[in-house]
Structure 1
Amino acid sequence: MARNRFNSGSKQDAELPKAKINKQSLQKISALLSYLQPYKWKFIIGFLFLLLSSLTGLLFPALVKVMVEVAQGNPSEYGLPGTVSGIGGIAFFILFIQAFVSFFRIRLFVEVSEKALADIRRDTYFKMITLPMGFFANRRVGELNSRLSADLSQIQDTLTTSIAEMIRQIIMLIGGVTFLIIISTKLTLFNLAILPIIVVAGVVFGKAIRNISRKAQDQLADSNTIVEETLQGISNVKAFVNEAYEANRYDKSLRQVVQIALKGATYRGGFASFIIFCLFGAIMGVMWYGSYLVEQGMLNVSDLLAYMLYSVFVGAAMGTFPEIYANVQKAVGASERVLEILEEKTENISIHPENNKIKEKIEGNLAFEHVEFSYPSRKEIIVLNDVSFEANAGEKVAIVGSSGAGKSTIAGLILKFYDIQKGKILFDGKSADDYALTDIRNQIAIVPQDVILFGGTILENIAYGKLDANKEEIIKAAQQANAHNFIMSFPEGYDTVVGERGVKLSGGQRQRIAIARALLKDPAILILDEATSSLDSESERLVQEALETLMKGRTSIIIAHRLSTIREADKIIVLDKGQIAEVGTHAQLIQKEEGIYKHLSSLQFEIQ
């Protein structure tokens, strides 16, 4: 088993990458903030409720201070009631106000973030499915799915919680420090003198712990990859009697996870011990110095109590900042990755169905004129070189050649999945560039070798060729495709769920579903991309009969591996290393003693 397969597993448990927060990154993500515009008033009201909730929270230590003073027989300095009960009543009233505004603050922020994120998700998905094929050739499906799930969820969490919590904690920090200074400047300076030690220790230990945690996550992901690959290839493991090898490999990986985890535990334990010592040491130090000031008559007991409560507020606010800042960093990184998609250039296709209807009909004449093509990801490799051929309306044109000759590339170019570098592709004598992209794809159907069905019902999969088709049209297409009988053999008939990618159906059944879908579309040009190459003899016979029905009266481009399926083609084009080597009928090409077609035929024992 190849060693590089260890890197193929998805590291689901790995943290989302963080981005540096600077002027450039904030300017880049400002585009996403425009999604808040439709809900700005609710956001502003929620923000005002956030301010009110934070400010009312700062009043409680002051009320406790007054309550203690009144309990000691001292009159209130702020015109408040002179009884403990009266001040307690005010405290509960403020608590009710805080609870009330907190409810609406959370409700409004969640509503704004959910709606804004739904808009971002919608636009990102719409953008993604209208991007050209070249975009998908360079990216994995898992990566793109992560953009819609993990990245947008991180942005959602930040909009819903992190930003609001950051604003709240900033208010609590500034307000708390202000009240600490008002109550006792000396005690505050003493308190702040301890702070740099804790901050520096937190930064040093925190960085080391994060690095070790990341290594542990990576190693655990590698271990999970071993499990995933072993179970996926369990038949190979057993066939080669390599159970012991795989078990040893997994055990070795787990031991590495344990070693890294223990190293991380050492750092976390040391950091926790240091913080506990510093935290309680700071509390004891403040209590000691505060008690000394009370003893000297420079501070009273109520002030010391209020000071301790405000210290808790300040400490809690400072303690939450590292996590909040890390979440914002992740959100910035996630925003940049989502914006990469939103800034990509799309194909000229609308997400509104009425804009994609056929505007210019194609009769079925197709021509390639001196076409040269290289894939965007491999521009240095010429896949098609000076390719020219014609297919008149209603003709069957077969394209054959060895693997890598460029057969399937021609199918992709007919559908305009890619732009050619040189030459022209013509429909009815008119350049493909002069047609709307939707006009071309609406009038071309493809039946591929590996049919991928959607996870819904058979009815829904056939109807994908014509979304507004009624059931009678769908059944007629299935009958023409030799699919009706096997469909009705299922208890649920056309309502049978095919499973993910159509796994509940055989290869021949999936092919006939694809043919029924193409029949329903009623295209002017049909592309058969090795549609029978992976089928058994009986399935091939049924599929071939369905294909004959499908090809009647329309231009058919048949990309074939089995040469027995193309003998009746009006024209056979033989590709070799991206160039046309031979053109003719089966009878003509089989007569060329040194011809490529004759050689391919002999390899398949098809010479007669």
Structure 2
Amino acid sequence: MTLVILSLAPLIWLISIISSKIFRKLFVQELRAYERAGTIAEEVFSNVRLVFAFNGTEHEQARYEKHIDTARKQGIKKGAIAGIIIGSMYFILFGSHALAFWYGNHLIKNEDYDIANVIFVFFAVLVGIFALGQSAPYRESINQAKVAAASVWDILSSDEENTWTSDEEISNVNFLGKVKFDNVFFSYPSRSDVPVLNGLSFEATPGQTLALVGTSGCGKSTCMHLLQQFYKPTSGQILFDDQPIEHFDLQQLRHKIGVVNQEPVIINAQVLFSTTILKNIQYGQSNATFADIQEAVIAANAHNFIMSLPENCISHVFCPFQKYDTIVGERGAQLSGGERQRIAIARALVRKPILLLLDEASSALDNQSEQTVQQALENASKDRTTIIIAHRLSTVRHADKIIVIDKGMVIEEGNHETLMKRQSNYYNLVKSQAFEEPLETDDYQPQLSELTPDWPSLAILKLNRPEILLILIGAFTSIFNGGLEPASSILLSEIIGVG
């Protein structure tokens, strides 16, 4: 009798395999549409003033709705197919029940089984099938997770990032901080026909401050990317302590490099997480002591403003430096631009880097904040090799060496005084900036309480008013579907009673 009941199981198994493949394809399309819509929403909220300034709300709304509509259509298609598949499975399941009772009735008539044996076998198989059926939702979740994690696994399996080194091993590696670009050519993979660096060559000696200047697109930031091994040169060599940079363990190399970028929200450089100031700085060196953190904060010219912050702590243990436990808010929303930048500098310094990369670290600030941050950057540059990219040439006057780059090549080098006397390319850049207006910024930062409105449940339900008919239909069919099992139990008891 068990074999008779399970005779239709291969059909369920076949439907399950087919549905898994169909759902996987539909889920990929739905997920991609939601990703694109989410990216648009993030871009709009991050640049909301620009969108309003250019009356771009309708355009951005249309872009967002386009991808949301694609996701909705894929969701409807997925739901319809799911309904057909689940209905087919239930049809086969109840068909196996009917087949079981028919065959059980035949066995009872032939006096091979009594009704107790038939019921016992039926429910034993039913419970087993039900237990196996409980795995179906998890199987769908696993398939969804595989789709969502596919790109992540591709990155994790990359051969270039597969070497890991403990903090103890990293701290024992001795770097001097000598950096050399030797006839480096480079083009970005997405535009391989457009050369960015054309035989670039320069050298920074240990402890030297070197500035890279030039017009936009000349290749300054590309040098930073190559030093961090985000890309590899098309030809030529980058030498670190007179050794090709490829010979170094990637984790060791990055651990000895501190990076401060223009925006404190750029990933891998100055992410300000919605946590405490202490945890943000500790992100630069997980095993840093509080003394190390305080030393980095003082060097970054951030200690005084931290100690002046209002009480807003998560620590329940009294500490003389409790202000370090102040919550910074999402993306540092509680702090001004200059304060965020100084915390980012402290995070770069806490790992005690041999090489410090400053990519226009103060160009997005107003004059007052720039002076404070510039002082912090000068403190940070002491006793370590520092490479600076600067838009405002006033910030590189004290650099030991200034490299002027144009079209990916070095066209001039020397210190500020020497280059100004030549009255050539660097001189023209400085003079062109002499007439620029001072940068004004809005240091007002909205508090999190202003960003999060109180939406009661009733207001959220009102937003679903256009779908009220579909909700009622779904509720009715759910009640009907929920009544199938009790109805089946009643019919089964009637059958047993008649028997």
TM-score, scaled to structure 1: 0.54
1:457 — aligned with what? 276
2:379 — aligned with what? 549
Q: What SS does the corresponding residue of 1:360 show, helix, strand or coil? A: coil
Of 430, 442, 462, the match for 1:601: 430
2:336 — aligned with what? 506
Q: Alignment identity in percent?
A: 39
Matched residue type, 1:603: S
Of 170, 180, 183, the match for 1:356: 170
Q: What SS does the corresponding residue of 2:388 show, helix, strand or coil? A: strand
Q: Is residue 564–residue 606 contact of structure 1 (8 Å, CA) maintained in 2?
A: no
2:204 — aligned with what? 391
Q: What SS does the corresponding residue of 1:601 show, helix, strand or coil? A: helix
Of 180, 204, 212, the match for 2:2: 180
Structure 1 residue 377: Cα displacement: 6.1
Residue 487 (str. 1) matches residue 310 (str. 2)? no
Matched residue type, 1:409: T
Residue 367 (str. 1) matches residue 180 (str. 2)? yes
Structure 1 residue 529: Cα displacement: 1.9
2:486 — aligned with what? none
CA distance in structure 2 between the aligned counterparts of 1:500 and 1:474, rounded to whole angstroms: 21
May I ask how many residue pairs the two structures share in their alignment?
419
CA distance in structure 1 between the aligned counterparts of 2:74 and 2:252, rounded to whole angstroms: 58
Structure 1 residue 356: Cα displacement: 0.9
Q: Is residue 444–residue 524 contact of structure 1 (8 Å, CA) maintained in 2?
A: yes
Q: What SS does the corresponding residue of 2:332 show, helix, strand or coil? A: coil
CA distance in structure 1 between the aligned counterparts of 2:62 and 2:188, rounded to whole angstroms: 43
Matched residue type, 1:291: N
User: CA offsets, 1:232-252, max 9 Å, x none?
Assistant: 665566556677787888889
Q: Is residue 6–residue 96 contact of structure 2 (8 Å, CA) maintained in 1?
A: no
1:445 — aligned with what? 258
CA distance in structure 1 between the aligned counterparts of 2:93 and 2:157, rounded to whole angstroms: 48
CA distance in structure 2 between the aligned counterparts of 1:199 and 1:234, rounded to whole angstroms: 51
2:389 — aligned with what? 559
Q: Which piece of structure 1 moves more, 513-522 or 523-532?
A: 513-522
Change beyond 3 A, Cα 1:205–1:403: closer
Q: What SS does the corresponding residue of 2:223 show, helix, strand or coil? A: helix
Q: Indicate the RMSD between aligned Cα atoms, in angstroms.
A: 4.9
Describe how 1:200-215 pairs up with structure 2 within 5 A.
Answer: none
Residue 536 (str. 1) matches residue 366 (str. 2)? yes
Structure 1 residue 535: Cα displacement: 1.2
CA distance in structure 2 between the aligned counterparts of 1:389 and 1:590, rounded to whole angstroms: 20
Matched residue type, 2:183: H
Unaligned runs of 5+ in 1: 1-178, 182-187
Change beyond 3 A, Cα 1:244–1:292: same
2:450 — aligned with what? none
CA distance in structure 2 between the aligned counterparts of 1:391 and 1:247, rounded to whole angstroms: 49
Q: Which piece of structure 1 moves more, 433-442 or 421-430?
A: 433-442
The structure with the greater share of residues assigned to helix is 1
Structure 1 residue 489: Cα displacement: 1.0
Change beyond 3 A, Cα 1:250–1:528: closer
Change beyond 3 A, Cα 1:278–1:522: closer
Q: What SS does the corresponding residue of 1:538 show, helix, strand or coil? A: helix
Q: Is residue 28–residue 147 contact of structure 2 (8 Å, CA) maintained in 1?
A: no
Q: Is residue 156–residue 162 contact of structure 2 (8 Å, CA) maintained in 1?
A: no
Q: Is residue 165–residue 251 contact of structure 2 (8 Å, CA) maintained in 1?
A: no
TM-score, scaled to structure 2: 0.64
Matched residue type, 1:557: I
Q: What SS does the corresponding residue of 1:531 show, helix, strand or coil? A: coil
